[in-house]
Amino acid sequence: MIGMIKAVILWAWRILATPAGTLGLGFLTLGGFVGGVIFWGAFNTALEVTNTEKFCTGCHEMKTNVYEELTQTVHFSNRSGVRASCPDCHVPHQWTDKIARKMQASKEVWGKIFGTIDTREKFLDKRLELAQHEWARLKANDSLECRNCHSSIAMDLTKQTKRAADIHTRYLLSGKATCIDCHKGIAHELPNMDGVDPGWKVPAELMGKAASHGLQDTDQLAAYLAAREGNIID
């Protein structure tokens, strides 16, 4: 048995010690390493290029529609000078999630080629469908992109308005709702919201009161907030 092991070791050593064999293995190892570095560098460079606002607004469908709307919001211009760009809100920051999102978004290339929303009219007709897809995505991942900047743990509720602090305490901190449930339309104009579930639910103690007055969802929220502030609506 020992003799067989020694024979195998000597056979391997002769291959490695042979000049041609050594040179071949060396080039193979070095070539594989260099090739891997080049491929990985090129892949990540291409990934980062597609993850910039310049790339996102490279087509007129985005630049003349949703991007123009973004420039009018607090996420684009504010007193602190912190700007959220397209990928900040629409692309996950974790690598694996980012790759999965890129694969999902590849179908947008198909839409570009066939002119799915190449006019303002087509975009407006598709606005609700597009918005619902994004709301559903953020709902499914618990508003992951929002939480990259807005952490509920870091929230100082004492510095928020009473209305905001009350809603965040009751719904966000308890896990009953996620950011996108209430914060739709914060960076882009809303589509026609008729029949769209607002996401939040009025507490049971106010449901009967609101229903008896025939109030709509937004009226129910106003009634709830007014009641919490001591201004009960009759």
Q: Taking 60 as the threshold, does the pLDDT of residue 29 lie above it?
A: yes
- Tens of pLDDT along 127-162? 999 999 999 999 999 998 898 889 888 889 899 888
Are 166 and 222 in contact, with CB atoms under 8 Å apart?
A: no
What is the CA angle 172-99-138, rounded to 5?
20
> What pLDDT was estimated at residue 194?
85
> What pLDDT was estimated at residue 167?
85
At 121, the pLDDT band (50, 70, 90 cuts) reads: very high
Cα 6 to Cα 156: distance, rounded to the nearest angstrom: 71
- Tens of pLDDT along 159-175? 988 888 888 988 888 88
Cα 129 to Cα 126: distance, rounded to the nearest angstrom: 5
Q: For 109-131, what is the mean pLDDT?
A: 90
CB-side neighbour CA atoms (13 Å) of 112: 12
Q: Cβ atoms within 10 A of the Cβ of 86, count?
A: 19
Q: Taking 90 as the threshold, does the pLDDT of residue 35 lie above it?
A: no
> What pLDDT was estimated at residue 205?
53
Q: Taking 90 as the threshold, does the pLDDT of residue 201 lie above it?
A: no
pTM over 0.75: no
**Who wins on pLDDT, 212 or 78?**
78
Tokens of 44: 């990540």
Tokens of 15: 């291959």
Are 73 and 187 in contact, with CB atoms under 8 Å apart?
A: yes
Helix axes 204-212, 217-228, angle to 10 degrees: 120
Q: Which residues contact 45 (CB under 8 A, 6 or more apart)?
A: none
CB-side neighbour CA atoms (13 Å) of 3: 0
Cα 109 to Cα 185: distance, rounded to the nearest angstrom: 25
At 233, the pLDDT band (50, 70, 90 cuts) reads: very low
Tokens of 188: 């882009």
**Who wins on pLDDT, 82 or 221?**
82
Q: Which of 26-35, 81-90, 100-109, 201-210 has the lowest mean pLDDT?
A: 201-210
Burial of 121 (0-12, 13-18, 19+ CB in 10 A): exposed
